[in-house]
């Protein structure tokens, strides 16, 4: 990325981030009769809390200190949830109550929901199961299972025990195929290589395949390739691979690749001369271009990226930004499943959405 683009991005993100803090301050204090000393204390607390996230990122990258980054991410999560709650208060969606009562109620609700979201994100991922009737699927192979992992976001403060639990959960399903639909890592090789022995334990009949997400490019795409190669996970880089005599697996780079000088996927070219009696499964990090993929004969597209919103107000924003934001959708004879993610990005928090491991059982049309 060009330095000017990075600077512009940081200015916009910082302005929005501290804008949320300012909104919370004005919304909270306008309804409460607070002395000047208390107001100043709130300003200092919000300012220092806001700086904690940036300080944590710097300390983690420069010195490998993860505690500040973790605390800063939690702060970011509480600020995001608080912004959502106080917006509701200010547009009078709460029951009519005195203004000072509404302000204290919004603050209490923010703390309660923030605490619950920490607990909810720490739970093991849900196992979400779907059976999909696929055209051209070999009759003798009905019951073929695909396990999808997405958006694990391995970084400095995720634990080996957490990832081990996910790998154990996946292997207990004895899948025929494991796929990982991007944002597997969120840091350079030296900060995530401790997860290598755990990733090597992923086991399926036909192997483990992955594609890049946007965060692989931010963290360093070559570091990602190195980790995946050592973990015996095959990364599909705008290419097509046969999976036995059962299906053809197509994997494409996330479109962020264009900003890093890597050629974007040409789906039409990738899907030329596909086997007429094999089903086509597409791995694409973002849930976009599904209509195009379906028109080109893709039977099933597997995506992630959205996290199902993870925490408010992103829960609402992703539904506006993506037509296929989370779950299973069908268009004619083609399907797309968008995972809410197996892990989390940034705040270790989830509200109104859950982490998930997705198990898809493919059956032929004739066996419906």
Q: Count of domains in the chain? A: 2
CB 79 within 8 Å of CB 314: no
The domain boundary, picked from 122, 148, 173, lies at 122
The pair of three-digit structure tokens given for residue 256, joined into one six-digit string: 């962020």
What band does 31 get if pLDDT is binned at 50, 70 and 90? confident
Closest by CA position to 183, among listed 335, 285, 57, 88: 285
- Which pLDDT tens digit goes with each residue over 84-129? 999 999 887 656 788 888 999 999 999 999 999 999 999 999 999 9
CB 234 within 8 Å of CB 210: yes
- Residue 304 and residue 307: Cα distance in Å, rounded? 7
- Residue 105 and residue 113: Cα distance in Å, rounded? 12
Q: State whether 8 and 141 are in the same domain.
A: no
Q: State whether 201 and 312 are in the same domain.
A: yes
Q: Is the pLDDT of residue 301 over 70?
A: yes
- Residue 199 and residue 364: Cα distance in Å, rounded? 31
The pair of three-digit structure tokens given for residue 313, joined into one six-digit string: 């107000």
Q: State whether 105 and 199 are in the same domain.
A: no
Q: State whether 47 and 174 are in the same domain.
A: no
pLDDT score of 351:
96
- Which pLDDT tens digit goes with each residue over 329-362? 999 999 999 999 999 999 999 999 999 999 999 9
In angstroms, the first-to-last Cα distance of the chain is 49
Question: The whole model's pTM is what?
Answer: 0.93
Q: State whether 97 and 146 are in the same domain.
A: no
The domain boundary, picked from 98, 122, 146, lies at 122
Q: CA-CA distances (angstroms) from residue 9 to 6, 13, 14, 215, 328?
A: 5, 6, 8, 15, 33
Q: How do 208-211 and 234-235 pair as beta strands?
A: parallel
- Residue 274 and residue 297: Cα distance in Å, rounded? 9
Q: State whether 114 and 205 are in the same domain.
A: no
CATH of the domain at 261: 3.60.21.10
- Angle at CA of residue 244, ends 238 and 245, nearest 5°: 110
The domain boundary, picked from 122, 155, 186, lies at 122
Q: State whether 130 and 258 are in the same domain.
A: yes
What's the DSSP call for residue 366?
Answer: G
What band does 8 get if pLDDT is binned at 50, 70 and 90? confident
Q: State whether 23 and 167 are in the same domain.
A: no
Range of the domain at 175: 126-367
Question: Per-residue pLDDT averaged across 32-45, rounded?
Answer: 92
Q: State whether 170 and 224 are in the same domain.
A: yes
Higher-pLDDT residue of 306, 135 = 306
pLDDT score of 367:
42
Three-class SS string for 249-289? EEECCCHHHHHHCCCCCCHHHHCCCCCCCCEEEEECCCCCC
pLDDT score of 277:
84
Q: State whether 222 and 360 are in the same domain.
A: yes
- Residue 25 and residue 32: Cα distance in Å, rounded? 11
Q: State whether 95 and 215 are in the same domain.
A: no
HSE-CB of 366 using CA atoms within 13 angstroms: 7
24, 26, 28, 33: CA torsion to nearest 10: 160
pLDDT score of 10:
83
Higher-pLDDT residue of 247, 364 = 247
Q: State whether 152 and 69 are in the same domain.
A: no
Percentage of residues of the chain with pLDDT beyond 70 = 98
Total Cβ atoms within 10 A of residue 271: 17
pLDDT score of 368:
41
């Amino acid at each position: 990325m060009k330095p000017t683009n990075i600077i512009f991005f940081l200015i916009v993100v910082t302005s929005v981030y501290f804008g949320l803090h300012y909104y919370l301050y004005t919304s909270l204090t306008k309804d409460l009769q607070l002395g000047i000393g208390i107001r100043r204390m709130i300003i200092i607390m919000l300012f220092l809390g806001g700086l904690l996230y940036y300080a944590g990122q710097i300390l983690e990258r420069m010195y490998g200190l993860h505690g500040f980054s973790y605390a800063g991410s939690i702060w970011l999560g509480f600020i995001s949830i608080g912004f959502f709650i106080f917006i509701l208060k200010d547009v009078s969606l709460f029951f009519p109550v005195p203004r000072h009562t509404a302000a204290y109620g919004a603050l209490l609700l923010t703390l309660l929901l923030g605490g619950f979201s920490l607990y909810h994100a720490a739970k093991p991922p849900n196992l979400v199961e779907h059976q999909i009737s696929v055209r051209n699927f070999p009759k003798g192979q009905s019951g073929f299972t695909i396990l999808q992992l997405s958006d694990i976001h391995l970084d400095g403060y995720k634990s080996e025990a957490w990832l081990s639990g996910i790998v154990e959960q996946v292997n207990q399903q004895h899948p025929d195929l494991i796929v990982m639909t991007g944002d597997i890592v969120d840091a350079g090789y030296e900060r995530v290589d401790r997860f290598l022995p755990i990733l090597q334990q992923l086991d399926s009949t036909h192997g483990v395949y992955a594609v890049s997400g946007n965060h692989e490019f931010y963290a360093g795409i070559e570091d990602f390739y190195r980790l995946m190669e050592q973990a015996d996970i095959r990364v599909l880089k705008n290419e097509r691979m046969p999976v036995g005599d059962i299906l053809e697996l197509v994997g494409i780079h996330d479109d962020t690749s264009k900003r890093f000088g890597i050629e974007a996927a040409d789906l039409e070219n990738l899907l030329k001369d596909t086997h007429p009696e094999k089903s086509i499964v597409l791995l694409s990090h973002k849930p976009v271009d599904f209509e195009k993929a379906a028109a080109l004969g893709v039977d099933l597209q597997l995506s992630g990226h959205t996290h199902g919103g993870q925490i408010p107000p992103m829960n609402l924003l992703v539904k506006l930004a993506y037509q296929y934001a989370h779950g299973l959708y069908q268009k004619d004879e083609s399907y797309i499943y968008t995972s809410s993610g197996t892990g989390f990005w940034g705040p270790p928090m989830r509200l109104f959405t859950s982490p998930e491991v997705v198990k898809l059982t493919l059956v032929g049309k004739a066996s419906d």
